[in-house]
Amino acid sequence: MNWIITQGTADIAKNTIKYLPKKTTNELGQEVYISTIIGSDVNFENGDIGFTVKLGDNKSLCHVVFNYDTDLPIVIAGLNANGFLYGIVKLVSSKWENLNVTGSPETFDTNKEYNIKIKVLGSLIELYVNGIKVCAAFERIKKTQLRLMLQGSKAIEIKNFSVSEQKPKAFVIMQFSDEYNQLYEEVIRPVIEGFGIQCERADEYSSTNPIIQDIVNSITEASVVIADVTPDNPNVFYEVGYSHALGKPTILLCDKKRTKLPFDLSSFRTLFYDNTIAGKAQVEKRLKKFLDNIF
């Protein structure tokens, strides 16, 4: 992967990035250390990020930056976030908002290298340090180029930065009956897979876990949820509600034979369709537009 410095100073070698502290004077006349921002050529949305880091002092910042240059809030994950040693936070109206933070910077040993791993699956973000999960949070991550943000009074060294990408997932919620199975197999699945997205439905599980556990995991790990809300199916409504609670991008489908949606769903944008050959072609076309807007 390739890196370029867009702010601050650093030395970049083949497998090593070294932050070099540099001071400036802020608007209040105070001397502060400049944050270094380093951009990469890797577009990331789903998968694992790993590297080793050695901090020069226990208040140095070392963050991976997500959602840069998108319409979503910037999210950072790493060391010394908003006053805590480990954290996942997002930028809202020029202020950092904690998603999940823990630990005291005073406990950090600056004489050691630490292995950092960040896992992103759908809206689930997990931060691991030396193999131990220290933080987890839910926030949507959109495909964009990864960045590093570094700051401190002493040098920071990062080695062996690696990225392992995974296909984003779409979880499909619908009643399991012939007419909906046909819509799924002939329209929904081919459109999703045409976007390079892995498609999954609850009746395709092969695990021995309780079904509700698999469903919750699938919704959590999905980048988008697609739900057909035509029949009054309690399971479908429950799963749609869970998706909305996680802030998951959710596309609702409904046959035009249903004239009125339940009150709680009526305010959401819904793709209405005719369950005919021509109607299915229209679903395909409109579903592609919805997915274009998300991805």
Among 134, 165, 196, identify where a domain stops.
165
Q: Can you tell me the mean pLDDT for 127-143?
A: 94
Give me the residue label for tokens 């944050």. 35
* Alpha-carbon span 291 to 194, nearest angstrom: 11
What are 233-242's pLDDT values in tens digits?
899 999 999 9
CA proximity to 60, closest of 122, 22, 105 = 105
Q: Do 210 and 97 fall into the same domain?
A: no
Give me the residue label for tokens 């959590």. 220
pLDDT above 80: residue 207: no
Relative to beta strand 156-165, strand 47-54 is: antiparallel
Into how many domains does the chain fold? 2
pLDDT band at residue 120, thresholds of 50, 70 and 90?
A: very high
Q: What is the DSSP letter of 231?
A: S
Q: Do 28 and 124 fall into the same domain?
A: yes
For the domain that residue 199 is a member of, what is the CATH number? Answer: 3.40.50.450
Among 103, 134, 165, identify where a domain stops.
165
Q: Do 147 and 14 fall into the same domain?
A: yes
**Under 8 Å between Cβ of 148 and 7:** no
Q: Do 57 and 135 fall into the same domain?
A: yes
Q: Do 51 and 174 fall into the same domain?
A: no
Among 141, 165, 189, identify where a domain stops.
165
Which CA distances in Å does 105 have to 16, 150, 220? 24, 16, 30
Round the average pLDDT of the chain to a whole number and report it.
90
Output phi, psi for 42, to 5 deg.
-95, 120
pLDDT above 80: residue 187: yes
Q: Do 289 and 209 fall into the same domain?
A: yes
Q: Write down the pLDDT at residue 67.
A: 94
pLDDT band at residue 134, thresholds of 50, 70 and 90?
A: very high
Q: Do 157 and 212 fall into the same domain?
A: no
Write out the H or E segment, with its range, that includes residue 120.
strand 114-121
Q: Do 44 and 125 fall into the same domain?
A: yes
Q: Write down the pLDDT at residue 206.
A: 67
Q: DSSP letter string over 163-202?
A: EEE---EEEEE---SHHHHHHIIIIIHHHHHHTT-EEEEG
Q: Write down the pLDDT at residue 49.
A: 97
Q: Can you tell me the mean pLDDT for 7-34?
A: 86
Strand partners, 91: 96
Q: Do 231 and 149 fall into the same domain?
A: no
Q: Do 161 and 183 fall into the same domain?
A: no
Q: Do 203 and 223 fall into the same domain?
A: yes
Give me the residue label for tokens 């290298």. 113
Lowest mean pLDDT among 36-45, 176-185, 200-209, 212-221: 200-209
**Under 8 Å between Cβ of 51 and 164:** no
Q: Do 83 and 197 fall into the same domain?
A: no
Q: Can you tell me the mean pLDDT for 264-272?
A: 82
Residues 123-159: b if buried by 16+ CB within 10 A, e if exposed: bbbbbbbeeeebbebbbbbbebebbbbbbbeebbbbe
For the domain that residue 117 is a member of, what is the CATH number? Answer: 2.60.120.560
* Alpha-carbon span 101 to 195, nearest angstrom: 35
Q: Domain span at residue 60?
A: 3-165
Please tell me whether the overall predicted TM-score, pTM, comes out greater than 0.75 for this model. yes
Give me the residue label for tokens 């502290």. 21
172 half-sphere exposure, CB direction, 13 A CA radius: 26
What are 71-110's pLDDT values in tens digits?
889 999 999 999 999 999 999 988 999 999 999 988 888 8
The amino acid occupying position 132 is I
Q: Write down the pLDDT at residue 224.
A: 92
* Alpha-carbon span 229 to 233, nearest angstrom: 8
Lowest mean pLDDT among 4-8, 23-27, 223-227, 231-235: 23-27
Output phi, psi for 11, to 5 deg.
-105, 130
